[in-house]
A = this chain, B = another copy of it.
């Protein structure tokens, strides 16, 4: 009774056996009301704090799930993580989180660490994975769900945005508005399949209307404001100016609006701009961004629910595609010549 009180102490003080005390807390129904009340009473008197580590060791369940994100700092993932947290919270589960910094080998290592820590399931938002990861997951038989990185070769459930559909819809809007002189601004296409998917969707959609952006109208650049703005400026100051800028992310779109205006172009009268994701920034722009909303919070919530379902022994659907929604605001208009 020197250190922290354990269940053993509770039992002694309440004059019951260790197992009765254990049951009183875990399966209250199996203990007589009076005894249970007494035990609960003693718990607060002694300020008993259950030791989950010990519990975990006997039941081989940690009530904790591990989440791997490509980067904690990316604001896009914040709502997704928060979605996970929300559903975990309701179940009193803990969340171990780690950032793989976009490095598949780091992800692999982190999964191993999660395994050591005994997480019950793993969620990953990494866009690409190392081959060994799948082997490890299969070997350890731990439930895992993949967010935004489909794997046709494996059986793990995955949930993703309809990136293709979203971008196609957005591009179609631009076409429908009458634009034909269209430039595309995307993030580094090689970095993640998602950006590649969005770019492809845009391109295919334009092609469907006979529009084929020239190479210098297909820009890849980083998301930081400075390089993004520089890229837009370069595009807008070197020769022919498109009537519309289709961006694969709101960051780029915002940079485009700002930079276009700085060059004296009016948005959308002189040039239209569209984004993707619908982050808060889209509302800060003037005009506000016409964009496609992609539900990031739901991404996390859904993935987490799938994982919990697996923990209960069910086999959830393998693929979950989250819907998009085109949000029409002010940054898309008709081209001047139309």
Contact = CB atoms under 8 A, between A and B. Distances in A.
A313 to B, nearest CB: 18
Contacts of A47: 139
| In the A-B complex, the 7 residue pairs with the closest CB atoms | A225-B283, A225-B284, A72-B82, A75-B75, A52-B116, A53-B118, A73-B78
10 contacts: A53-B117, A64-B96, A71-B82, A72-B81, A75-B78, A85-B98, A225-B280, A229-B283, A258-B285, A258-B286
Nearest to A296: B73
Contacts of A261: 286
Contact of A79 (B52, B53, B73, B94): B73
Interface stretch (A32-40, A54-62, A316-324): A54-62
Given A225-B281, A226-B283, 8 more contacts: A47-B139, A51-B116, A64-B117, A75-B78, A94-B98, A94-B117, A95-B96, A95-B97
A78 B72 contact: yes
Nearest to A118: B53
Interface of A: 4, 47, 49-54, 56-57, 62, 64, 71-75, 78-79, 81-82, 85, 89, 92, 94-99, 112-113, 115-118, 139-140, 224-226, 229, 254-255, 258-259, 261-262, 280-281, 283-286
* Oligomeric state, in copies: 2
A224 B280 contact: yes
Nearest to A136: B47
Contacts of A116: 49-52
Nearest to A63: B117
Nearest to A88: B98
Most buried by B among A73, A94, A99, A284: A284
A41 B175 CA distance: 62
Given A115-B49, A261-B286, A73 B82 contact: yes
A3 to B, nearest CB: 9
A92 B106 CA distance: 12
Contacts of A118: 51-53
Contact of A95 (B62, B78, B98): B98
Given A53-B118, A72-B81, A281 B281 contact: yes
Nearest to A84: B72
B284 A229 contact: yes
Contacts of A113: 92, 94
A25 to B, nearest CB: 12
Nearest to A224: B280
A246 to B, nearest CB: 19
A265 to B, nearest CB: 13
A53 B62 CA distance: 9
